[in-house]
Amino acid sequence: MAEASQRQVFLASRNAKKLAEMERILSPLVAGIRVLGLDDVDTYDEPVEDQPDFAGNALLKARAAVAATGLPAVADDSGLCVDALNGMPGVLSARWSGPPKSDQRNNELLLAQLYDVPDERRGAHFTCAVAFCVPGADGALSEHVVEGRMDGRIIREVRGEGGFGYDVLFVAEGYDVTTAELSREEKDAISHRGRAMRELAPVMARVLQA
């Protein structure tokens, strides 16, 4: 049982696609890893994501997760930064169209805001900050934060059935299909979250398999 618990990491999310994505990315690097989500632990008060940048919000969530569960915890904050909107929606990406959160309304609003923006000015990038916090025997936290980025552009219509969020509108640099039209493996290889997690995974492997 001790060995199994060492292979568990908590991700502060209820997004089943995010949980599955993180487990896919980590499984080749961390033997027997199991990613638990918010539905796998007792309910706790999640912090308000009020930091001005992705790294700040990720750390806020990871620290709260460790305090509530006692498990090594990963939290990410990611978003879409559009050149023509001065980097917005940024940290507001998930709630860009207001409450309640809705991918469809967010995408509709973004298309409306970029309606008259020419193709050559529709550049954008996804950013993901991932924080990994580990409780120590003395109560102190060991904290690690990395960031990943995926450059591309915003198209003029929704395309694809995969992914989540703004994937249906985003075409990565060097591609002619949206990230929602890529296979899971193709997206993992180039995504902002995939890049951040692959950078963080060796650190997590050392800690979880110690």
Supply the residues annotated as catalytic.
Answer: 77
Whether residue 144 is annotated as binding a ligand: the answer is no
CB-CB contact of 91 with 85 (8 Å): no
| Of 17, 22, 20, 37, residue with least CA distance to 196 | 22
Give Dmax over CA atoms of the chain in angstroms. Answer: 58
Instruction: HSE, CB side, 13 Å, CA atoms: give it for residue 194.
Output: 15
Whether residue 13 is annotated as binding a ligand: the answer is yes
Whether residue 77 is annotated as binding a ligand: the answer is yes
Whether residue 206 is annotated as binding a ligand: the answer is no
Whether residue 183 is annotated as binding a ligand: the answer is no
Whether residue 101 is annotated as binding a ligand: the answer is no
| 129-197-30 Cα angle (round to 5) | 145
Return the H-helix or E-strand segment holding 62.
helix 54-69
What's the rounded Cα separation, in Å, for the pair 98 and 106? 8
Whether residue 16 is annotated as binding a ligand: the answer is yes
Whether residue 68 is annotated as binding a ligand: the answer is no
The binding site for substrate comprises: 13-18, 78, 164-167, 187, 192-193
The binding site for Mg(2+) comprises: 77
The binding site comprises: 13-18, 77-78, 164-167, 187, 192-193
